[in-house]
Amino acid sequence: MSKTKTILVTGGAGFIGSHLCKRLLDSGNKVICLDNLFTGSKKNIQHLLKKKNFKFFQHDIIEPFFIKEKIDQIYNLACPASPIHYQVNAIRTIKANTIGVINVLGFAKQHQARILQASTSEVYGDPMEHPQKESYRGNVSTIGPRACYDEGKRVAETLLFDYHRKWGLEIKVARIFNTYGPRMAKNDGRVVSNFIVQALSGRPLTIYGNGSQTRSFCYVVDMVDGLIKLMESSSSFTGPVNLGNPGEFTIKELAEKIIKLTGSKSKVVYERLPEDDPKQRRPNIVLAKRVLKWEPKIKLEEGIEKTIEYFNLSFPRKRESRKQICF
Ligand code: UDP
C-alpha cells in the first residue's frame, strides 16, 4: 500500500473483521474499529488494542455515529453472518442492513470515503445457476427465515449503488462466499466450526439433511487478501464481485475430512435440514481473477488443519480433561 490511510472497519471485532484490521495495521495504516460485540468479541482484537494506530469503539451502526478524524476508506462488515446468529433477532439483522448501511453511507458521504460493502453469496439464495456468476439475479425467498439476511444484503447492495449514482460515492461490493479459519467463534453455528468442535470433543458431527448439499470454503487469509485488493482496485470498478474458493464439497465430504484430519473417533448423525438451506453453492471467480488478479491459494485441507490447530490451542481444556480421564 502506497501511503498511510485512515480506515474504518465496522464489524472489526468479528471473525473476518479482526483479520482485516490486523492486515491493514501491518501495512502501516491507521485503523478505527467499530463493533457492537453481538457476535464479535474483544478477544479477537486483544492483540491490537495496545497498538497506537488502532482505536476501538463499541457501537452499533444502527445508531448514527461521528468520527472527527478524516476517514479515507470504510469496510462495512457489521452484521451477524451465521444463520443461527442472524436469525436470533431477524428484525435487528434487517435494521443493520438498511438503517445501519444508510448510516455508514451517510458517514462515507461526509468524509468522501471509499466504501466496501461485505455482501454475500446469500444474495443468490438457493441458486438455479451453478456455479454462480455475478450476473445471476438469484432465487431468494422474501418471507423465509433466511430472508432477513439475504434480502437485507440485497437491499444493502442497492443502497450502495444508489449512493454511487446520486452522490458519486466510490463503492465496492464484495459477494463473500463461505469463509472459515482461526477466530471463528466456538458457538458460531456454522458448519466448519461446528464440525471441528464436535470432532475435537469426540461428539458426533451433526449433518443437516442428508449431507449432499454443497458449499465452497475460503480460508480467511485469502478472503482478506481479496477484500483489500478490491478496495484498492481502480475507482471505476464497483463490483459486485464474487470472493470465494471455487473448490466445491458436499457437507458429508467435509465431515469425513474433518474426522480424518482431527484423528477423531466421532461418528456422524443426521439432523433436520433447516428451511431454505441452499442445495449447492460455488462461486464463479472469473471476474475477480481478471480484474483483481486474485484467487484463493489455500487448499481446504491446509486451511482446515490451521483451523483445527486454532481450536486446539484456544479451547484445550476438554482435551486435557479427556487425557486426565485416560490416565
Ligand atoms: N450444516 C450442517 N451441520 C452443522 C452446521 C451446518 O450440516 O452443524 C450445513 C447447513 O445446513 C448448510 C451447510 O452446512 O447446508 C453450511 O452451513 P453454514 O451455516 O456454515 O453456512 P450457510 O452456507 O448455510 O450460510
**Which class is domain 180-215+246-279+298-314?**
alpha beta
For a ligand 1 pocket test, name from 124, 180, 186, 191 the mutation site with the most ligand atoms within 8 angstroms of its C-beta: 191
**Alpha helices for 125-219 (secondary structure H):** 147-167, 191-200
Ligand 1 center–CA 129 separation, angstroms:
20
Ligand 1 center–CA 191 separation, angstroms:
5
Indicate which residue's Cα is closest to atom 23 of ligand 1: 178
Q: Which residue has the cell 461526509?
A: 110
Q: What are the domain boundaries of the chain?
A: 6-179+219-243, 180-215+246-279+298-314
Tell me how far apart the alpha carbons of residues 244 and 49 are, in angstroms, rounded to a whole number: 29
- Is 124 annotated in the active site? no
Given CA atoms 204, 190, 213, 143 in this order, what sign does their dihedral have?
positive
Tell me how far apart the alpha carbons of residues 24 and 217 are, in angstroms, rounded to a whole number: 23
pLDDT digits (tens), the chain, 327 positions = 458 999 999 999 999 999 999 999 999 999 999 999 999 999 999 999 999 999 999 999 999 999 999 999 999 999 999 999 999 999 999 999 999 999 999 999 999 999 999 999 999 999 999 999 999 999 999 999 999 999 999 999 999 999 999 999 999 999 999 999 999 999 999 999 999 999 999 999 999 999 999 999 999 999 999 999 999 999 999 999 999 999 999 999 999 999 999 999 999 999 999 999 999 999 999 999 999 999 999 999 999 999 999 999 987 755 444 444 333
Same fold, 6-179+219-243 and 180-215+246-279+298-314: no
pTM: predicted TM-score of the whole model, two decimal places? 0.96
**Which cell is 64 given?**
448514527
Question: Dihedrals φ, ψ of 33, to 5°?
Answer: -110, 130
Tell me how far apart the alpha carbons of residues 79 and 77 are, in angstroms, rounded to a whole number: 6
- What's the CATH superfamily of 6-179+219-243? NAD(P)-binding Rossmann-like Domain (3.40.50.720)
Indicate which residue's Cα is closest to atom 21 of ligand 1: 190
